[in-house]
Structure 1
């Protein structure tokens, strides 16, 4: 997208980031994708002199480029030519590619762990329960429904799991109403 291109062109410009700051920025971008960040890209002292909104824009652009590269299994020539088209000099291209190669395997594992489709409900069971007291030892004296959805994930070799929850009669009626609305919407969409 244009936003990603503009963000990457900003990273290519030595006016905004010198080579050392660019390398630190790129390391921070890879780090933010691979682990729960303990800090943010804004915490690096080498990046403090850069406009924070521009820094955020560049971070989004860099992480988008990184993820697309990994998703497409881009090789060295693809990455390098893409960055050179965006006016990256050879030092920045090399610095980026070294970090890309270093982190590519971990990013592939991360992307492969993300499911492409949500689990499918294969069965539903329920039972009526009666709650006398809650966890604060207050009297409740109210019926509740224990619902159990059996789900199957088609992408993950049919792995099945159970989703359990408890709800009141009002919450259950609301859920049933929303499910009926969803079913009607699907039927209408199928008729088109």
Structure 2
């Protein structure tokens, strides 16, 4: 029985969050909930709860955001690894990459190291993504 209560709570929360995302009014939410098996008093309580907390839900959704971070800058440096702790001689060029991203007005830096092949793969994937975005915007 506790699992049913958890599922019901999660489903009600989803409905209220989706209603806030789409800025639904009370009438729209009421009409949507009438299509369910909920009683009239239960629908009235949910609508009252939604109306009471709608702005707080919207503020919370804005603070966490639903979009991925945007890359705003890329910085890279080519280093040459002559020797490593696991191999006596490595002789590998390595790229130190730094991506500056922004999400909800907050700038963060993502740093990683990759090989020439990994950089080439990254560049190819970025070019593919740019081509797909161009096709979407021209349609």
Q: CA offsets, 1:12-47, max 9 Å, x none?
A: xxxxxxxxxxxxxxxxxxxxxxxxxxxxxxx716x3
Which of 145, 163, 166 is the equivalent residue of 2:113? 166
Q: CA offsets, 1:53-79, max 9 Å, x none?
A: xx96x7776444222222244455543
Change (3 A) 1:122 1:98: closer
User: 2:126 matched to which residue of 1?
Assistant: 179
Change (3 A) 1:109 1:168: same
CA distance in 1, matches of 2:32, 2:54: 17
CA distance in 2, matches of 1:103, 1:171: 47
Output the TM-score relative to the length of structure 2. Answer: 0.64
User: 1:7 matched to which residue of 2?
Assistant: none
CA distance in 2, matches of 1:138, 1:124: 30
Change (3 A) 1:138 1:106: farther
CA deviation after TM superposition for structure 1 residue 119, in Å: 4.0
Structure 2 residue 86 is the aligned partner of structure 1 residue 138: yes
Q: For residue 93 of structure 1, give the secondary structure of its aligned residue in structure 2.
A: helix
Q: For residue 165 of structure 1, give the secondary structure of its aligned residue in structure 2.
A: strand
User: 1:151 matched to which residue of 2?
Assistant: 101
Change (3 A) 1:148 1:95: same
CA distance in 1, matches of 2:67, 2:16: 23
Change (3 A) 1:166 1:44: same
Structure 2 residue 73 is the aligned partner of structure 1 residue 126: no
CA deviation after TM superposition for structure 1 residue 166, in Å: 1.1
CA distance in 1, matches of 2:19, 2:123: 43
C-alpha RMSD of the superposition: 3.7
Q: Where do 5+ consecutive residues of structure 2 fail to align?
A: none
Q: Where do 5+ consecutive residues of structure 1 fail to align?
A: 1-42, 49-54
- The alignment covers a number of residue pairs equal to 136
Change (3 A) 1:187 1:75: closer
User: 1:15 matched to which residue of 2?
Assistant: none
